[in-house]
């Protein structure tokens, strides 16, 4: 056939190659930001002097080692884990909903996880002894995970009909679920005692300030496993971009993949929310920037999202620590100020998407 | 052989297909025609396992549910009516996603060959969303072809299931796409296509099944099935085959275009 004769040879642009270069750059960025995060803080403790002392065979001053090892280091590890968890969860949710506007904070998953955490704090003491012993100090993250998981499943059921997810329904259902979770949380706050209230205030703000090695050892392993599982979903999420039916036709076990994706997101977001409260917009901004730079192929997107998410959250944390030092701005404010305009920009650029 | 025996499909309380028996042979292009709402797409969705049915469907002599998804993906590919992409993949990336199960022998060049075959070899780096509807449909055809590139593998035929493959195409590309489907069948693969254009069906199909109200009205060769009686009954209007319009009225058949092309090739 003459109309189908097109023999011009064209060099294929391999965006995965570019994505691998970007991954190296992001890894370097993460190292740089990590060092700054250790070096910068309200106390004025110098990382370099402490390191210099250690290098010279002297013991670092006790204050310096406490500040660095007990305050800044766990905060650094927590920041990396939470940032990576939120960004990867955002990318996975967007792939699952086939929509670049899905974000754990925006569609109520974080609120659901927060409700779980608050429930555990306020009502945890009332649990039967054997349950309390079984979960131990994991009670808050486990409850946050269950809250996030339940919200994601309800949201998916409500927003998806016949394998198609309606954007409008997803966003509106997310608002409704977040409002419901907020109301229930409000009731719990109302009946909470003074000590519990102090614990709770910290969720409203969203902060890495509460980071301790105890919390890190609970949350970090869950997040690492969740991200590792998420990376195995990359090929399936690529297929899902063609639609659920087509994904099945090219051999993807769609139902199993969706269940795994929902569990992964719930575990990662649940753990992140349990230790840092609700931090918004990382999950939407990071994957979007990366798609612009290196394309939507999830195989590199998820890895790069983990790296960039960790860097961005650490950066936001450093800003929150220095901008009104010695006081500290809640990190949720920083990410919202940076993230909300980007979100609006995506909305305006892709207005057709929300006409559904 | 692709066989469907006594297939019934219900959606809610409505019966969409009742006792449909249908078969397609490897080496042939089998067309499914019928009016809107007659159950064509539902029959195809039953054949691809996308809709719950009662009855028995076998592909290459093995029951459909006995194949795990990845294995099914190695023996048949499905072209939907239209595919909306969630993210801005490039054309070559879309075709490569179709190779998910890695069954075209891990050959990297298959995606590129497939794009050349549908005439989009120079479109590899274009973003899918920026293409016209017809071009998007040809990209999807390339993806589907790449998935089951060899019509016969290890002695067993592979299948193309096409849902209105030419619906959004101009006449030149309609002929081009039907040629591709025909060539696939002639090389030993099986092709099942839902068709709206009865002229193209008459030109390319080896066998035709007419569906009407969820049942198979007629089934056989083009000359057996595309007749005044069957067509008039299926489509609910008076249809005469092989009847030119009144003198002076213009009519354009794909047959005429292919004759012109063949004449050019001969001369």
- Predicted confidence (pLDDT) at residue A39 exceeds the cutoff of 90: no
Residues 6+ apart with CB under 8 A from A8: B121, B122
pLDDT at A350 (0 to 100)? 63
- In what side-by-side order are the strands of the sheet with B207-212? B76-79, B159-163, B190-194, B29-33, B207-212, B215-220
Tens digits of per-residue pLDDT, A278-290? Answer: 787 889 889 988 9
d(CA A286, CA A90) in angstroms, rounded, equals 8
Residue A177 lies in a domain: yes
What is the mean pLDDT of the segment spanning A59-71? 74
- Predicted confidence (pLDDT) at residue B243 exceeds the cutoff of 70: yes
Q: Do A248 and B50 touch (CB under 8 A)?
A: yes
What is the mean pLDDT of the segment spanning A235-241? 92
pLDDT at A226 (0 to 100)? 95
% of chain A exceeding 70 in pLDDT = 87
Q: Match 């797409």 to its residue by tokens.
A: B41
Asked if residues B185 and B29 have their Cβ atoms less than 8 Å apart, the reply is yes
What is the helix (H) or strand (E) element at residue A164, kind and residue range?
A: strand A164-165
Low-confidence winner among A39-43, A336-340, B93-97, B153-157 (lowest mean pLDDT): A39-43
Give the tokens for residue A256: 């199993």
Q: Do A249 and B78 touch (CB under 8 A)?
A: yes
For A97, the 3-state DSSP assignment is coil
pLDDT at A208 (0 to 100)? 80
Say which of A9, A12, A252 has its CB closest to residue B100. Answer: A252
pLDDT at B13 (0 to 100)? 84
C-alpha pair distances (Å), A302 with each of A83, A95, A229, A261, B205: 13, 10, 11, 13, 46
What is the mean pLDDT of the segment spanning A28-48? 82
* Closest among A166, A165, A159 to A108, alpha carbons compared: A159
Say which of B49, B73, B180 has its CB closest to residue A250. Answer: B73
Q: Looking at chain B, list the stretches that DSSP marks H as alpha helix, in order from N- to C-terminal side.
A: 40-47, 69-75, 91-97, 109-117, 133-147, 171-186, 198-204, 222-225, 228-235, 254-266
Q: Which residues of A touch B112 (CB under 8 A)?
A: 12
- Predicted confidence (pLDDT) at residue B102 exceeds the cutoff of 60: no
Binning pLDDT at 50, 70 and 90, where does residue A354 land?
Answer: very low
Binning pLDDT at 50, 70 and 90, where does residue A1 land?
Answer: very low
* Closest among A239, A94, A67 to A171, alpha carbons compared: A94
pLDDT at A355 (0 to 100)? 41
What is the mean pLDDT of the segment spanning B181-193? 95
Q: Do B97 and A291 touch (CB under 8 A)?
A: no
- Predicted confidence (pLDDT) at residue A140 exceeds the cutoff of 90: no
d(CA B226, CA B232) in angstroms, rounded, equals 10
Q: Which residues of A touch B158 (CB under 8 A)?
A: none
pLDDT at B135 (0 to 100)? 93
Binning pLDDT at 50, 70 and 90, where does residue A165 land?
Answer: low
Residue A57 lies in a domain: no
Q: Which residues of B touch A12 (CB under 8 A)?
A: 92, 112, 124-125
- Predicted confidence (pLDDT) at residue A22 exceeds the cutoff of 90: yes
pLDDT at B70 (0 to 100)? 87
- Predicted confidence (pLDDT) at residue B196 exceeds the cutoff of 80: yes
A18: left (phi over 0), alpha (psi -120 to 50) or beta: alpha
Q: Do A10 and B73 touch (CB under 8 A)?
A: no
Residue A61 lies in a domain: no
Q: Do A252 and B116 touch (CB under 8 A)?
A: no
The domain in which residue A166 lies consists of 74-355
Q: Match 């980007």 to its residue by tokens.
A: A342
Q: Which residues of A touch B127 (CB under 8 A)?
A: none
Listed by start position, the domains of chain B span: 1-67+159-170+181-267
Q: Do A251 and B93 touch (CB under 8 A)?
A: no
What is the mean pLDDT of the segment spanning B27-46? 94
Asked if residues A40 and A318 have their Cβ atoms less than 8 Å apart, the reply is yes
Give the tokens for residue A326: 């010695």
Q: Which residues of B touch A3 (CB under 8 A)?
A: 119, 172-173, 175-176
- Predicted confidence (pLDDT) at residue A340 exceeds the cutoff of 90: no
Q: How many domains does chain A have?
A: 1
Return the higher-pLDDT residue of A346 and A92.
A92
Low-confidence winner among A22-26, A57-61, B75-79 (lowest mean pLDDT): A57-61
- Predicted confidence (pLDDT) at residue B101 exceeds the cutoff of 70: no
pLDDT at B104 (0 to 100)? 52
Q: Which residues of A touch B89 (CB under 8 A)?
A: 241, 295-297
% of chain A exceeding 90 in pLDDT = 26
pLDDT at B185 (0 to 100)? 96
Residue A31 lies in a domain: no
The residues on A that touch B, with CB distances below 8 Å, are: 1-10, 12-13, 15, 95, 98-100, 235, 238-243, 245-246, 248-254, 291, 295-297
Residue A15 lies in a domain: no
pLDDT at A341 (0 to 100)? 86
The Cα of A174 is separated from the nearest Cα of chain B by a number of Å equal to: 20
* Closest among B205, B159, B202 to B184, alpha carbons compared: B159
Tens digits of per-residue pLDDT, B112-153? Answer: 999 999 999 899 999 999 999 999 999 999 999 999 999 998
Residue A99 lies in a domain: yes
C-alpha pair distances (Å), A99 with each of A204, B9, B105: 28, 31, 32
d(CA B75, CA B59) in angstroms, rounded, equals 9
Q: Which residues of A touch B42 (CB under 8 A)?
A: none
Q: Kindly report the pTM of this predicted structure.
A: 0.87
Q: Match 């998953």 to its residue by tokens.
A: A109
Binning pLDDT at 50, 70 and 90, where does residue A227 land?
Answer: very high
pLDDT at B267 (0 to 100)? 46
Residues 6+ apart with CB under 8 A from B4: B20, B21, B22, B23, B43, B46, B47, B55, B56, B57
pLDDT at A230 (0 to 100)? 96
- Predicted confidence (pLDDT) at residue A116 exceeds the cutoff of 70: yes
- Predicted confidence (pLDDT) at residue A353 exceeds the cutoff of 60: no
Binning pLDDT at 50, 70 and 90, where does residue B99 land?
Answer: confident
Q: Do A242 and B173 touch (CB under 8 A)?
A: no
C-alpha pair distances (Å), A251 with each of A247, A308, B76, B85, B211: 7, 31, 10, 18, 29
Tens digits of per-residue pLDDT, A294-319? Answer: 899 999 999 999 999 999 999 999 88
Q: Which CATH number do you get for residue A151?
A: 1.10.3470.10
- Predicted confidence (pLDDT) at residue A251 exceeds the cutoff of 50: yes
Give the tokens for residue B117: 């075959």
- Looking at domain B1-67+159-170+181-267, its CATH superfamily turns out to be P-loop containing nucleotide triphosphate hydrolases (3.40.50.300)
């Amino acid at each position: 056939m003459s109309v189908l004769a097109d023999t011009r040879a064209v060099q294929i642009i391999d965006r995965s190659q570019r994505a691998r270069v970007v991954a190296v750059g992001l890894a370097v960025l993460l190292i740089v930001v990590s060092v700054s995060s250790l070096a910068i803080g309200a106390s004025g403790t110098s990382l370099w002097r402490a390191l210099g002392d250690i290098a010279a065979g002297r013991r670092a001053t006790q204050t310096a080692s406490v500040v660095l090892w007990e305050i800044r280091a766990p905060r650094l590890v927590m920041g990396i884990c939470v940032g990576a968890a939120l960004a990867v969860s955002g990318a996975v949710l967007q792939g699952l909903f086939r929509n670049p506007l899905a974000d754990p904070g925006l569609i109520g998953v974080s609120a659901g996880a927060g409700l779980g955490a608050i429930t555990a704090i306020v009502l945890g003491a009332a649990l039967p002894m054997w349950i309390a012993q079984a979960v131990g100090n994991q009670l808050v993250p486990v409850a946050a995970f269950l809250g996030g998981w339940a919200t994601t499943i309800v949201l998916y059921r409500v927003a998806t009909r016949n394998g198609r997810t309606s954007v409008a329904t997803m966003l509106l259902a997310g608002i409704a679920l977040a409002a419901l979770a907020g109301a229930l949380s409000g009731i719990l706050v109302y009946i909470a005692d003074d000590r519990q209230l102090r614990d709770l205030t910290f969720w409203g703000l969203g902060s890495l300030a509460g980071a301790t090695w105890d919390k890190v050892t609970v949350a970090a392993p869950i997040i690492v496993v969740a991200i590792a599982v998420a990376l195995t979903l990359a090929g399936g999420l690529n297929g899902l971009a063609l639609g659920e039916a087509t994904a099945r036709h090219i051999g993807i076990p769609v139902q199993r993949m969706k269940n795994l994706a929902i569990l992964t997101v719930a575990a990662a977001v649940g753990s992140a929310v349990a230790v840092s409260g609700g931090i918004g917009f990382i999950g939407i901004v990071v994957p979007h920037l990366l798609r612009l730079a290196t394309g939507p192929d999830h195989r590199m997107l998820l890895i790069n999202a983990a790296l960039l998410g960790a860097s961005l959250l650490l950066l936001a944390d450093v800003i929150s620590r220095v901008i009104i030092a010695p006081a500290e701005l809640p990190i949720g404010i920083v990410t919202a100020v940076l993230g909300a305009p980007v979100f609006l920009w995506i909305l305006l650029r892709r207005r057709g998407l929300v006409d559904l | 052989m692709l066989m469907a025996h006594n297939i019934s499909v219900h959606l809610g309380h409505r019966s969409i297909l009742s006792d449909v028996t249908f078969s397609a042979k490897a080496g042939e292009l089998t067309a499914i025609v019928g009016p809107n709402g007659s159950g064509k797409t539902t029959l195809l969705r039953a054949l691809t396992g996308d809709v719950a049915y009662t009855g028995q469907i076998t592909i290459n002599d093995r029951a459909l549910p006995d194949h795990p998804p990845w294995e099914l993906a190695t023996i048949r590919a499905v072209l939907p009516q239209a595919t909306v992409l969630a993210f801005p993949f490039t054309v070559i990336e879309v075709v490569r996603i179709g190779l998910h199960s890695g069954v075209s022998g891990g050959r990297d060049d298959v995606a590129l060959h497939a794009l050349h075959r549908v005439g989009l070899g120079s479109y590899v780096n274009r973003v899918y969303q920026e293409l016209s509807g017809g071009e998007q449909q040809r990209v999807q055809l390339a993806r589907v072809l790449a998935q089951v590139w060899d019509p016969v593998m290890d002695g067993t035929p592979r299948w193309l299931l096409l849902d209105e493959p030419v619906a959004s195409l101009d006449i030149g590309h309609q002929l081009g796409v039907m040629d591709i489907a025909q060539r696939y069948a002639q090389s030993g693969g099986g092709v099942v296509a839902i068709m709206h254009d009865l002229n193209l069906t008459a030109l390319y199909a080896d066998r035709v099944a007419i569906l009407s109200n969820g049942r198979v009205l007629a089934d056989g060769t083009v000359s057996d099935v595309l007749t005044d009686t069957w067509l008039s009954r299926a489509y609910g209007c008076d249809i005469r085959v092989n009847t030119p319009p009144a003198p002076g009225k213009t009519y354009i058949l794909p047959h005429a275009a292919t004759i012109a092309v063949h004449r050019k090739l001969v001369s």
